[in-house]
Amino acid sequence: MEHLPEMHLQHPATVEEAVKLHAAAPASRYLAGGSDLLVNIRRGIERPDSLVYLNGIAELHTITDGLEQISIGGAVTLRELAESQLLRKPFSAVAQAAGKVAGPSHREYGTLGGNLCLDTRCVFYNQSEWWRAANNYCLKYRGDICHVAPGGKKCFAAFSGDVAPALLLFDAEVELAGPDGRRRIALAALYRNDGMDHLTMTRGELLVAVHVPKIPAPVRTGYAKSRVRGSIDFPLAGVAVRLGLQDEKIADLRIGLTGVSPLPFLVRGLDKFVGRKPDDACLEELREVVRGQAKAMKTTLTPPHYRRRVAGALAQKLAESIF
C-alpha cells in the first residue's frame, strides 16, 4: 500500500482550540480513531493538508448521566458505548449497534463522532486510486458519471454507520462547535439525502457530543444488521427498532435504517400500527413497509433487492423478539 502523504498534525487540548486550528489550514480534517479517515487518505479519496487530532481533548471523552439526558462525548469509543451501563434498557439499541461495528480492534479505537460523521460508501468509491482511475473515477470524486445510476447526476453511496439509526430512535441531538460558537441540532438534521454531500455540518464544525433525552415510557429497543461476514463487515442493511406495548397493543413504534441510502433515517408512516396487536399479520405488514422504504441501490456487491428484503425481514424479526 502507498504511504500516507505528507500532512501537518495538530494536537489541541480543547474543543475551541481544535476549531481554531481547523480553520487555520485550507484543507483540514478532524482525526479521531482514524479507522475510516486514514484508510480514505491512503486511497486518495481524501487529501487533507492538516489533521486536527481529537483524542487529546478531555471534554470529548466523557459520558454523563444528566437529569433529563445522557450526554456522550464525540471521542467516546465504540467499545465504551457497547459496554456502558448507562446504555442499558431502554437504550439497548445504541449499545448493540456500537457492539456490532467492525471487529474488536476497530471498536477499541473507533469513536462515536467518527461513526456519525462517516463518509458514505460505494463499491465504486472505496477502492484504491488505481482501481478508481482504471474505472474513470465516478461522480462522487473526480469523475463524470455514476456507475450505479449512469443516467443521473446523483450519487447514491450509502451511509453505513451502525450507531446513527439507533440514536434516531430517541430524538437524539448533536452538539456542534464551529467558528461561530456552539449549536445543537437534531441528529436527523445532521444528514441529507446526497451521497456526495451527506452531512449538513458547515466546514470546520466539530461534533462535541450527542445528547439522548431520557424517555419515560417503558419501551424496548434493539439493533440488527445484515453483513457479508456475520462478525465484522459494514451493514448491507442495519435496522434499529423501538417498540412500546400497552395492553398488548402497540403504543410506540419507531424504526431507524442505515446502509440502504445516503442517509440514516426513521421509517415513515408507522402510526397506522399503533393500537394494533403485534401478531403475524401486523408484523408482516410492517416488514413490507420497511422494505418499501429501504431503497438500496447497487452500491455493494450484494444485490439491492436482497438488501431491501433483508431490511424488512430484520425489522420483523427484531419487533418479534424484542418483547
Partner 1 sequence: MAKQHITTTINGEETEYLCEPQETLLDVLRDQVGLTGTKEGCSSGDCGACSVMLDGRLVCSCLVLGVEAEGKTVETIEGMADGDELHPLQQKFLEEAALQCGFCTPGVLIAAKALLDINNDPTETEVRYWLAGNLCRCTGYDKIIRAVMDTAADMRGA
Ligand X SMILES: Cc1cc2nc3c(=O)[nH]c(=O)nc-3n(C[C@H](O)[C@H](O)[C@H](O)COP(=O)(O)OP(=O)(O)OC[C@H]3O[C@@H](n4cnc5c(N)ncnc54)[C@H](O)[C@@H]3O)c2cc1C
* Site membership for partner 1, residue 1 (CB under 8 A): yes
Looking at beta carbons only, is 106 or 277 nearer to ligand X? 106
Residues that bind ligand SF4 (rule: CB under 6 A) add up to a total of 14
8 Å CB contact between 186 and 170: no
Q: Which does 105 bind (CB under 5 to 8 A by kind): ligand X, ligand SF4, partner 1, none?
A: partner 1
Calpha distance 75→96 (Å, rounded):
18
Q: Which of 51, 155, 236, 240 binds ligand SF4 (CB under 6 A)?
A: 155
Nearest to 208 by CA among 7, 19, 10: 19
Subset of residues 74 to 113 that bind partner 1, contact rule: CB under 8 A: 102-106, 108-109
Q: Which does 18 bind (CB under 5 to 8 A by kind): ligand X, ligand SF4, partner 1, none?
A: none
Residue type, 126: N
Cα-based angle 25, 193, 34 (whole degrees, multiple of 5): 40
* Site membership for ligand SF4, residue 147 (CB under 6 A): yes
Q: In the structure grid, which three cell numbers stand for residue 196, read together? A: 456526495
8 Å CB contact between 52 and 31: yes
Q: Are strands 69-73 and 28-31 parallel, antiparallel or unpaired?
A: unpaired
Looking at beta carbons only, is 11 or 295 nearer to partner 1? 11
* Site membership for partner 1, residue 295 (CB under 8 A): no
Subset of residues 24 to 63 that bind partner 1, contact rule: CB under 8 A: 33-35, 38-39, 42-43, 51, 53, 55
From the list 77-85, 122-130, 160-168, 300-308, the region that binds ligand SF4 by CB under 6 A is 122-130
Helix (H), strand (E) at residue 183: strand 181-186
